[in-house]
Amino acid sequence: MEKRSKVPKILAADAGPEGGKRRQSLFDKDGMKGKRAPSNYEALGMAPVEEEHFSDSVKTRLLAFKAHRVKIRYANTYRLEPRNKLRDYLVRNKAQAILTNRLQEAKYDGVSSRSLCASISEEILKAVKELNFDRYKYVVSVLIVEKAGQAINVASRWVWDAQRDTWVSAKCETETFIALALVMACYYE
């Protein structure tokens, strides 16, 4: 007994002009050359808009709009050092001046010290950014501790490049509390 193949054989009448080869398309390419699908303009009874009909001002606005949407990609500069290096003494003086001005006549209050720390740290961050040290990212932390005869140690650890990254601290002491501000400057390539 012979096994019949599952693939049907192509009959000579169905083979077509290729002689037994499979056709590429259902439609005859020569017959479809003159026909084309109607565009949306023809279906709606409108004429297609050609670019020639636009005035020069419309063309420039369209080009400007397209250029605005394009994301600009910059090439790497491969710079490893900042052009304007961070100067510690300037940052320290700014932070010290802000702490002194804001806290010289304040009394310690546990409830309001949280918002006071946040506002002082934002002010210090804004002042440091105005110094325009290029390629640095900053972290500012302010701590206010009540004076109650206790001792306190503040410790911080960072993983950074010791050649380019740095930190600055400023301290303000009043009768009722001690305020400490830490400004960390990390070089950003």
Q: Which domains does the chain have, with CATH numbers?
A: 29-69 (no CATH), 88-187 (3.30.1140.40)
Q: Is the pLDDT of residue 155 over 60?
A: yes
The tokens of 180 are what?
């400490």
Q: Is the pLDDT of residue 95 over 80?
A: yes
Q: How wide is the angle at C-alpha 144 spanned by C-alphas 139 and 150, nearest 5°?
A: 130
Phi/psi for 184 (5° steps) reads -100, 130
The tokens of 112 are what?
């309001």
At which residue do the structure tokens 């949280």 appear? 114
Cα 167 from Cα 114, distance rounded (Å)? 23
Q: Is the pLDDT of residue 44 over 90?
A: no
The tokens of 47 are what?
């004429």
At which residue do the structure tokens 């003086």 appear? 93
Listed range (15-19, 65-69, 83-87) with the worst mean pLDDT: 15-19
| Side chain identity, residue 146 | E
Yes or no: say if 183 and 124 are a contact pair by the CB < 8 Å rule. Answer: yes
- Assessment of whether the complete model's pTM goes beyond 0.85: no
Q: What is the pLDDT of residue 76?
A: 82
Q: How confident is the model at residue 174 (pLDDT cuts 50, 70, 90)?
A: very high
> How many angstroms separate the Cα of 127 from the Cα of each of 48, 94, 163?
58, 7, 24
Q: What are the tens digits of pLDDT across the range 127-145?
A: 999 999 989 999 999 999 9
Percent of the chain clearing pLDDT 90 (strictly above): 41
Listed range (4-13, 60-69, 139-148, 167-176) with the worst mean pLDDT: 4-13
SS3 63: helix
Average pLDDT value for the chain: 80
Question: Which carries the bigger pLDDT value, residue 24 or residue 102?
Answer: 102
